[in-house]
Amino acid sequence: MNTNLALLLLLAPFLGFLFNIFFGKSIGKTASGVIGTLTVALSFAVTLYFFGQISVSKTPIQIQLFDWIQISNFKVDFGFLLDQLSVLWLLFVTGIGSLIHVYSISYMHDDENMHKFFAYLNLFVFFMITLVIGSNLLVLFIGWEGVGLCSYLLIGFWHKNQDFNDAAKKAFIMNRIGDLGLLIGIFIIGSLFSTLDYATLKTAITGATNLDLYWISIAAFALFIGACGKSAQIPLYTWLPDAMAGPTPVSALIHAATMVTAGIFMITRLNYVFDLAPDVQNIIAIVGAVTSLVAATIALVQTDIKKVLAYSTVSQLGLMFLALGLGAYEVAVFHVITHAFFKACLFLGSGSVIHALHGEQDMRKMGGLKKVMGITFITFLLSSLAISGIPPFSGFFSKDEILMVAFEHNKVLWFIASLASLLTAFYMFRLLYLTFFKEFRGTAEQKSHLHESPSLITFPLIVLAILATVGGLISLPTNSWLNGYLSPLFSKEVHEAHHFGTTEYALMAIAVIAGLVGIGVAYSKYIKQNQVPVEDAEITGFSKVLYNKYYVDEFYNVLFVNSINGLSKFFRDYVETTLSSAVFGLEKIANELAFQGKKLQSGSIGFYLFVFVIGLCTIITYLFLAQ
Amino acid sequence: MNNILNEIGIENYIFLSVILFSIGVFGVLYRRNAIIVFMSIEIMLNAVNLLFVAFSTYHQDAQGQVFVFFSMAVAAAEVAVGLAILVSIFRNLGSIDINNLKNLKG
Amino acid sequence: MSTILIIFCVLAAITLATAFLAIFSRNPIHSALYLVICFFSIAGHYLLLNSQFLAIVHVIVYSGAIMILFLFTIMLMNLNKENEVHKPRITRLGAIVSFGLICVVLILVFINSKPIVGEYITTGEDYQSIKVLGKVLLNEYMVPFEFASILLLVAMIGTVLLSKKEKTEK
Amino acid sequence: MNVSLILIILLVGAFATYLAGDKLASKVALLFSIASLGFSIVLLNQYNLGENINFINQWINQPNVSFALNADGLAIAMLLLTTALTPIIIYSSFGNEYKNAKSFYALILFMAFAMCGTFLAADGLLYYIFWELALIPIYFIALIWGNGDVEERKKAVVKFFIYTLAGSLFMLVAFIYLYQKAGSFLIQDLYNLNLTASEQLWIFLAFFLAYAIKIPIIPFHTWQANVYQKAPTVGTMLLSGIMLKMGLYSVIRWQLPIAPLAAKEYMYIFIGLGIAGVIYGSIVALRQRDLKKLLAYSSLAHVGLIAAGSYTLTIDGLRGAVLQMIAHGFVVVGLFFASEIIYRRYETRVIAEMGGIRSQAVKFASLFMILVLASVALPTTFNFVGEFTVLYSLSQINVWFAVLGGTTIILGAYYMLKMYQHVMLGETNAKPFADVTFNEATTLVIIVAVLFFFGMYPKPITDLITPSLENIITQINRIN
Amino acid sequence: MNTLIAIIGLGVLCLLFEIFEARKAIIPVTIIGLLAILGLDITDYANPQSYYNNMIIVSKFSAAFSGLFIILTIFLVTLAHKFYQNNQSKISDFIAIKIFLLAGAVAMVSFGNLAMYFLGIEVLSIALYILASSNRLSIKSNEAGLKYFLMGSFASGIILFGICLIYGAMGSFDVTEISELSRSAELPVWFPIGIVLVFIGMLFKIAAVPFHFWAPDVYEGSPALTTALMSTLAKVVAIATLYKLVTIMNADLSGNFQMMIVIVSMASMTVGNIMALRQVNVKRMLAFSGISHAGFMLMTLVSTANAAGTLLYYTSAYALAGIAAFSVILYVCKNNENEDITNFHGLGKTNPLLAAILTAALLSMAGIPIFSGFFAKLFLFNQTIQAGFIALVIVAVVNSIISVGYYFKLILAMYTKESNEVRTATPAVIYIVAVVSIVLNIALGLFPSMVLDLLA
């Protein structure tokens, strides 16, 4: 029963994918959209069932399907593990997935390849489910690469534009760099523990006495690199902003709510490994904090509405990694969930705006949309408040927990994180003000077409906004349902409710104040002073550095892309020809010898006989006189 | 009958023969007139014949001399064929200078 | 120095000298004549070695047949004049070098070799009269003798072949 | 029933094809190749039932040479690869018109014959003979039916022939040397030899030269790209799909067990060369202008990894190598066929002249995409299974090998996606591009299906090859 | 012995046919006669003994090689049918000379006395001089004949000198006696010098470096059929005789002597192959190829213990491939002034069968399996490695690689170039010879024991 249901859960989106690929075109756009949506919704329903079951029984469901890969010292099964973590993840993957599918029916309706879009989305959900419910690291890896593929396909969905294709390729390749790390981590774990299965691994680690901590640390670090790639952390984050080339629902689903959290999922999944590698945890924490700050600063000056959100996502993911690094896995998970709600809402909202403006993404050409796009505005506002950490919105609770944990461990990290949240509040409200307030700055033609989006678009917005508002309830500081739910996963005792003393309240207050300051500055700048970001060419000073994302892309280009291309050219033009001519060189030598030899073959009998005699004398001398 | 080689010594015949043979070789290399070259070859063969006879005496054995007959037969046959070739070249080229025969080379 | 040795030396000198002259003389006719003398001196050697029959055969075959053939050809080709142009130095050098080399090398080899056992065997048996030679030739060496005829036959056919006019090529 | 029948089928097929005449040749060839596939499946079945399908017969008394065919799991796996790819390749060529088709298809079958023989031979000399025989048909296929300028093609093909022949002749010398020691060419006798370390080294190197050129391992690869480019696509498929595997197979079957000491002693060097091939091939592939050349360099990279896996001397390495061989065989055939499909429409292989095909040929774009993804070893494709196992075995030797070898998944993705982007994506091409025909589609779909099936369920193959590989590992470890 | 007598009888018969104006019958009768003689030879093989005071020793070796010579002669005579089509008046002479040449060849491998050996080699040589210059009106043919004659006589002189020294040392021409005497401790130095001089003379005959210069010029200049004869039959005869000389006289194969053979062998292979690379005339190219093959064949002499079978195999493989190749060359070049590679352009299209045969022949010469050339090289290498001459084998291997370069030049010309002339129908004779010889070649490859065990 469970096996069948799990298969249904997994295969429903896959069937949707197949159906849409083969018949999507013929059955029409709406129908293909509906089928796509229904399959994901079906998965969601099954997830709900499993959620109920797990909540009650509290025992993970293990499903083995078949042997997959045989390694000398262990075997990898194709199997599923449905436990608290995976079901939780499934909930928002399929849940938000369903909502975004609904949204896309309308959003993508004008696109001629809509069936393909749904096919890819379904495929993505399929792979995401695989990633989450896999019972071992290799099945996770299937999903891991699979979602990367879908991300590639969807970023490059409008494949006629080579810039988009470049972005897609970049995303895939940077993901692959991480994937290599993940693979290395898998190799080390495999050879250390002779298993890749989570459950066995956990027993092996917790039961073992003398573990090879050195190699475990290396494994953990390698796995972390994998997570970095997928979850867009420094130094592998640059693909995520570029990934905004894809349609907005894609950004919402893949690049905000689900796929990019795979890294967090994986680290949480293997928390017992990471717990053994405190050095790596420190690195994770530092990387997370730095990423969150760097991304936030870049987000400050971006003018593309989706870019801002993208950097915001990077920044928020950084916060989650901070939590992971500090061992507060459940906090990170909490933030993943709330972030999924509000960021998905924000992206979908921005999509709604872009939809209304027929593809315009530059905030400098927006403004005043509050009046025409009421629902969008309100949901957007709620989500912005949530991300800015204003109570009682969900973001407040999750972010506050992170900050609190950070404060406990390291004040510097706390400061960085707080600064990042202050900046978050600022840029989010900058975005909000520039988009929805004041007068419309676009063309008249655009203005005449302004409209609120249809209900298929607003419905998911509303649902998500509600979730973004109330999502914090699942883990209140004093009474955390989430912590209890997840506790079987962690070897360490979950941080039970903090002793709520003055420090904690003070921290909370600081966080809120920081958020409010950010909002306030944005208000004064964009509402009071009525500023609009200047044109690209006029950006100067540090803003320019920020606007150009610290020139990291250029730096990477010079350091890696150009050098490798240069190397390729060098190899192609010089090394290959040299190697080739080395072989031909022998031929040339032989030919030259032949050419010289032909001169010897002069046709003169005298010469021939002369050589004859010389040869004869040499042989006789050698045989009889040389002794 | 006394062995005449007691008086002369087989070495002397060998040296004589070698020198004569070498003269033949020299002639083959030195001259360009094909007929003279033929003659030089005859000198070489005769040098060997001489040595055969000397060895025949040395061994007191008739076979060496018999071999000289064969050698002569061979020489005669070679000369016949060689001159026939020569004549036909002369008919074609009007010359028997072997230096003119360098069409085949390379 | 016994007379025989003196005779040998004289004959050897004649042989070598005429052989040289045959090669050096510019006129082919002269060459041929020198060569005839050379062959006669070689016949002298044969006589010295007491092989009279061979000496006679030698004179008949070489001086009588072969040299006549040469002379005939020379005259046929009208080569009885000094028509050979000056030889390039390299040719002469090569010839001299090979002459020297082959001479020196072979003589050195023989000198280096063990000296021959002093006593020359004298069986006293007749081994080179016509009778004995005939027996050896026609008993033991019957097959080679017959085969020599094949050799001559081939040479004959060949000569005819090379000189015969093709019927089709008129 | 014994295994020699498969050789007979293919040989008879070659003659029958030649006699069938130009019109029928392709069909007859397809028929015989399918028959051979069917027969190899029968063999597989018999092998699994434990029946004796080996064949041995004295051939030459002095020197002692036997006509010995030994079909163990490994050989049967390679046999299946050959007999499965041959019909696919023949079928795929139905879209082309070849002059003198009867010779063309006869040569293909003959080559399949020789390759099957190479995989089956259990006698060193017999093996060598098949090894060389396989070279001749491909030489003519590339020479006569190849494309591009005749002079350049000649140059490339002759270089290829001489180069590979050069390598294999040294292998022949090694075999003769071994024969002197063993008094027989039979593989078992060669395995049982007790050679000194220096003898092993020389023999290992002689084998290495042959295999390094065939596989190819850098720096012996210079023939590859040019020949792949110049050969007709069918030839390229045969070369890259099966023939390269002959070299890799031989490493496992002959080189390692016969000279294990040298293999162990210098393991790092040879693994290093393999990995250098991975990186070098990938980097060179980045900037290729010609589609087939690019695929050739990608092949270089992949086989480098396989070779590195084989030289780890671990069961994982060998198993991964074999799996990857099979997977690569299929995917590379698919990729070259894709390039042929483009060529049939655009008559060019220059990447710069392509682009914007996807919007015109959706089916083709999807199938091509899948092949590209399989080539970059996306999980669920067969290539992933192989690549994962190989990389795992490398990590067991030294984790840095795995890291460096693993760059293939980054660089591979880079050049393949770049290629795909410029070939298929972008603004709709002005030149019309008809979508795949039924023939083309079936060919690609079969390949894709195989890749996915074994990607998810490689167990049949793993189970088939593992006992033989374990045997080989035992042989490798016999001297310690 | 019977074989030899029968061959001579057949030769005389040929001449008689001329007298009786039965020219048309000459070739068929000769072929039938040769086939009968082949049967005779087989009985000889089964019944080895010596004849006429040891003048002729029929052994398995001599019988096997005689068989090979007879087969080659059959092919050559068959080809002659076409080749001398326009030369009917002389056909009996040509055929008779060829038959006598065969007699010389048989004498050379079955001699029991140096007199027979010398006469045999002279019969062979003189016949070849005649055949080389037999195209009387062609200056090239004349030149070839004269060159061959001059140098051949020179070499004969050397051989004669060598025989003389052997006689001087041993007092006998009988090889059995010589062999026995050579075992005694005290040997005059004349004997080894004599052996070396004879050896050098034979090296000239098989065209080994540095005595090879005549070969390309003579091959090129001679009429194609004669070239075929020289490169197949004559070379095989010479090497077989050389082998027999070295083995039967129990010559002292000291280390130095072997080293000399090794060096000559290496030099022949290398020079032959490298020089062949830039040739445009096919006959000339095959001449150089023949030089390199001579080097290969010489390898048998470094380990004479069991090399007879190998040598027989190698020579059969080489000669059959040569016959096949030359029959195609005869066809292609019959209307052409020269035998340049350009004449072969497009043969793959105009006459695929003959192109395939030529290809197979060249592949066999290059040593590609399954052609017998490969096995020949294999056995040779095997033997040589057994004798411990790995360096020689390595050089041989490198040379095999080089040789592919020029063999393929011809193959490429046939298959990649466009034909520049229309080729008329081929005479059946050429087809028959080409097909039979190449089939024999491949059969030898498939069943090497067939030949190998003859002299095991």
Tokens (6 digits) for B58: 């040395």
pLDDT at A492: 62
pLDDT at residue E313, as a whole number:
93
Q: Based on the number of CB atoms within 10 Å of its own CB, is D366 exposed (0-12), middle (13-18) or buried (19 or more)? A: middle
pLDDT band at E305 (very low <50, low <70, confident <90, very high): confident
Q: Which of D152, D128, D158, D124 is nearest to D140 (CA)?
A: D158
Write the pLDDT tens digit of every residue in D140-174.
898 888 888 888 888 888 888 888 888 888 999 99
pLDDT of residue D305: 92
Reduced to 3 states (helix: H, G, I; strand: E, B; else coil), residue A10 is helix
Task: Flag whether pLDDT at A493 surpasses 60.
Answer: no
Across the interface, whether the CB atoms of C127 and B96 are under 8 A apart is answered no
For C145, half-sphere exposure in the C-beta direction (CA atoms, 13 angstrom radius) is 13
Cβ–Cβ contacts within 10 Å for residue A290, how many?
18
> Average per-residue pLDDT in chain A?
84
Q: How far is D404 from chain E (nearest CA, A)?
A: 36
B22 found inside a domain? yes
Physical contact, B and D (3 or more Cβ pairs within 8 A)? no
What are the sequence ranges of the domains in chain A? Answer: 555-625
Q: Do C140 and E53 touch (CB under 8 A)?
A: yes
Of A396, A61, E324, E150, give the one whose Cα is nearest residue B36: E150
**Is residue E12 helix, strand or coil?**
helix
> A-D interface: how many C-beta pairs under 8 angstroms?
140
Mapping DSSP to helix (H, G, I), strand (E, B) and coil, where does residue A394 land? helix
Residue A256 tokens, joined: 């905000």
Average pLDDT in chain C = 83
Do residues A372 and A356 make contact, with C-beta atoms less than 8 angstroms apart? yes
Q: Which residues contact A388 (CB under 8 A, 6 or more apart)?
A: A395, A421, A424, A425, A428, A429, A515, A518, A519
The two tokens of residue E419 are 């034909």
Chains that touch A (3 or more CB pairs under 8 A): B, C, D, E
Q: Residue E113 forms beta bridges with which residues?
A: E174
Q: What is the pLDDT of residues A4-35, one digit of tens each?
A: 888 888 888 888 888 888 888 888 888 888 88
pLDDT average, residue stretch A266-292: 87
Contact list in A for residue D389 (CB cut-off 8 A) is 69, 71
Chain A residue with minimal CA distance to D166?
A583
Average pLDDT over residues A252-281: 86
Nearest to A71 by CA among D389, D378, D252, D465: D389
Query: Of how many residues is chain C composed?
Result: 170
- Domain-embedded: residue B104: no
Contact across the interface for E381 and D172, Cβ inside 8 Å: yes
ipTM of the predicted structure?
0.92
State which H helix or E strand residue A62 sits in: strand A61-71
Chain C neighbours, 3+ Cβ pairs < 8 A? A, B, E
pLDDT for res C170: 38
Give the integer Cα–Cα distance in Å for E394 and E384: 10
- Domain residue extents for chain C: 1-84, 125-164
Instruction: Determine the Cα–Cα distance for residues D26 and D109; give it in Å rounded to an integer.
Output: 10
Cα C137 from Cα B67, distance rounded (Å): 9
What is residue E87's predicted lDDT score, i.e. its pLDDT?
Answer: 75
Looking at residue A426, what is its pLDDT? 85
Confidence label for B90 from pLDDT (cuts 50, 70 and 90): confident
Could you please report the per-residue DSSP string of A431-492?
A: HHHHHHSS---S-HHHHHH--PPPHHHHHHHHHHHHHHHHGGGGB-SSSBHHHHHHGGG-SS
Amino acid E148: pLDDT? 93
- Residues A598/C83, Cβ–Cβ less than 8 Å: no
Q: What secondary structure, in 3-state letters, does chain D show?
A: CCCHHHHHHHHHHHHHHHHHHHHHHHHHHHHHHHHHHHHHHHHHHHHHCCCCCCEEEEEECCCCEEEEECCCHHHHHHHHHHHHHHHHHHHHHHHCCCCCHHHHHHHHHHHHHHHHHHHHECEHHHHHHHHHHCHHHHHHHHHHHCCCCHHHHHHHHHHHHHHHHHHHHHHHHHHHHHHHHHCCCEHHHHHCCCCCHHHHHHHHHHHHHHHHHHCCCCCCCHHHHHHHHHCCHHHHHHHHHHHHHHHHHHHHHHHHHHCHHHHHHCHHHHHHHHHHHHHHHHHHHHCCCEHHHHHHHHHHHHHHHHHHHHCCCCHHHHHHHHHHHHHHHHHHHHHHHHHHHHHHHHCCCEHHHCCCCCCCCHHHHHHHHHHHHHHCCCCCCHHHHHHHHHHHHHHHHCHHHHHHHHHHHHHHHHHHHHHHHHHHCCCCCCCCCCCCCHHHHHHHHHHHHHHHHHHHCCHHHHHHHHHHHHHHHHHHCCCC
Secondary structure element (H or E) that encloses residue E63, with its range: helix E60-83
- Residue B2 within any structural domain of the chain: no
Residue A582 CB neighbour total at 10 angstroms: 11
Band of residue A410 on the pLDDT scale cut at 50, 70, 90? confident
Contact yes or no for D224/D216 (Cβ under 8 A)? yes
- pLDDT value at position A494? 52
Whether residue A64 is predicted with pLDDT greater than 80 in this model: the reply is yes
Structure tokens at A509: 């207050």
Asked which of A370-374, D194-198, E430-434 is least confident by mean pLDDT, the reply is A370-374
Can you read off the two tokens belonging to residue D103? 């010779």
Lowest mean pLDDT among A330-344, B15-29, C111-125: C111-125
Alpha carbon distance D474, A248 (integer Å): 58
Taking the CA of residue C90 and the nearest CA in chain B, the distance in Å comes to 10
Q: How far apart are CA A590 and CA A600, in angstroms?
A: 15
Q: Which amino acid is at E23?
A: R
Q: Which of E369, E378, E412 is nearest residue D143 as measured by Cβ atoms?
A: E412
**Which one-letter amino acid corresponds to residue E293?**
H
Q: Please state the rounded mean pLDDT for residues D268-278.
A: 91
Chain A residues touching residue B28 (CB < 8 angstroms): 609
The pair of structure tokens assigned to D194 is 């007790």
Query: How buried is residue D147: exposed, middle or buried, by Cβ count under 10 Å (0-12/13-18/19+)?
Result: middle
Q: Where in the sequence is the domain holding B33, given as residue range(s)?
A: 9-94
Is D452 part of the contact surface with chain A (CB cutoff 8 Å)?
no
| SS3 of residue A526 by DSSP | helix
Q: For C124, list phi and psi in degrees, rounded to 5.
A: 80, -15
Q: Evaluate if residue A539 carries a pLDDT over 80.
A: no
Lowest mean pLDDT among A374-388, A532-546, A608-622, E261-275: A532-546
Contact assessment for residue E269 and residue E396, using Cβ atoms and an 8 Å cutoff: yes
**Tens of pLDDT, residues E8-66:** 999 998 888 888 877 788 888 999 999 999 999 999 888 888 888 888 999 999 999 99
Q: What's the pLDDT tens digit per position in E215-256?
A: 999 999 999 999 999 999 999 999 999 999 888 876 666 788
Instruction: Work out how many domains chain B is built from and give that number.
Output: 1
Q: Which two tokens stand for residue E331?
A: 């066809």
Q: How far apart are CA D110 and CA D102, in angstroms?
A: 12
Q: What is the pTM of this model?
A: 0.91
Residue E124 pLDDT > 80: yes
When CB atoms are compared, the residue of C94, C105, C109 closest to A610 is C94
Q: What is the DSSP letter of C63?
A: I
Mean pLDDT of D236-265: 90
**Top-level class of domain C1-84:** mainly alpha
Report the candidate in A105, A125, A118, A30 with the shortest Cα–Cα distance to residue A459: A105
Residues 574-603 of A with CB under 8 A from E: 587, 590-591, 593-595, 597-598, 601, 603
Angle between helices D399-424 and D291-310 (to 10 degrees): 160
Chain E hits for B82, Cβ within 8 Å: 129, 149-150, 153
- Residue D110 reports pLDDT greater than 90: yes
Chains touching chain B through at least 3 C-beta pairs below 8 angstroms are A, C, E
Residue B106 covered by a domain? no
Q: Say whether pLDDT at C114 is over 70.
A: no
User: At B59, which CATH number?
Assistant: 1.10.287.3510
List pLDDT tens digits, range A110-137. Answer: 888 888 888 888 888 899 888 888 888 8
Q: Distance from A579 to chain B by nearest Cα, in Å? A: 32
pLDDT tens by residue, E385-423: 888 888 999 999 999 988 988 998 888 888 888 877 766
**B interface test, pick of A604, A607, A616 with most B CB neighbours within 10 Å:** A604
Contacts of C53 in chain B (CB under 8 A): 65
Residues across chain E: 456
Q: What is the CA radius of gyration of chain D?
A: 21
pLDDT tens digits for D44-90?
999 888 888 888 888 888 788 899 998 888 999 999 999 999 999 99
β-bridge pairing D65-69 and A61-71: unpaired
